[in-house]
Amino acid sequence: MATFEEFWEAYPSGRRRVAKPQCEKKYAALKLEDNPNVMPSLERWKCSEDWTKNGGSYIPTCHKWLNQGYYDVTLGVTVPQDVKNQPPTGAVGAMCDGVAENLDPVAIQKWKDQVKIDGLRASGELVGVIQRAINEIVATYCPSPTSVAHMRAQLKSSPDTIFKYYPQVRKQVLIILGRTPKEQ
């Protein structure tokens, strides 16, 4: 729960933080001082891709944020493209401080998994690890020859989309990446 002044100070500064008197009236009319979701929601929005892309040009005005009830929106935070594979720094890092405890652990794990896969792609090792994953799937689960042929064809034609059509391959790649060198 936060006072209007605390909320106003936390809202991103710049050309979008305008009309303070109108915002204060709206905040009071909505009785948001008693709403425990306002500040955590604001912190999640500040780290969202919508608010961080293009230098924050998509941040709504404070009054619009209050009028449209953004504080009650369940937001799945996505990692902005320009900060993927690296810890947030600068303004984004400052905005995201203290927010991690409010994020969905499943979303965090998906992001970590994607960072691992992106690292393989960047190093040129992704296709080799996918081939290994397919071989392990074949050895363990004995899928039909047609299914195996489709997996291998998909890998040759478009390795980047194989996870979309064969999620078990993605899962096996992550299992391979999680093994210690002795287990491999």
pLDDT at 139: 87
- Give how far Cα 103 sits from Cα of 53, 109, 160, Å: 19, 11, 27
Instruction: For the chain, give the mean pLDDT.
Output: 79
pLDDT at 103: 62
Spatial contact of 170 and 138, defined as CB atoms under 8 Å apart: no
Domain ranges (residues) in the chain: 4-102, 105-178
In sequence order, the 6+-apart residues with CB closer than 8 A to the CB of 133 are: 169, 172, 173, 175, 176
pLDDT at 91: 52
pLDDT at 80: 47
Query: For residues 120 and 102, what is the distance between their CA atoms, to the nearest angstrom?
Result: 29
pLDDT at 65: 87
Query: For residues 170 and 179, what is the distance between their CA atoms, to the nearest angstrom?
Result: 15
Residues (pLDDT < 70) of the chain are 74-104, 180-184
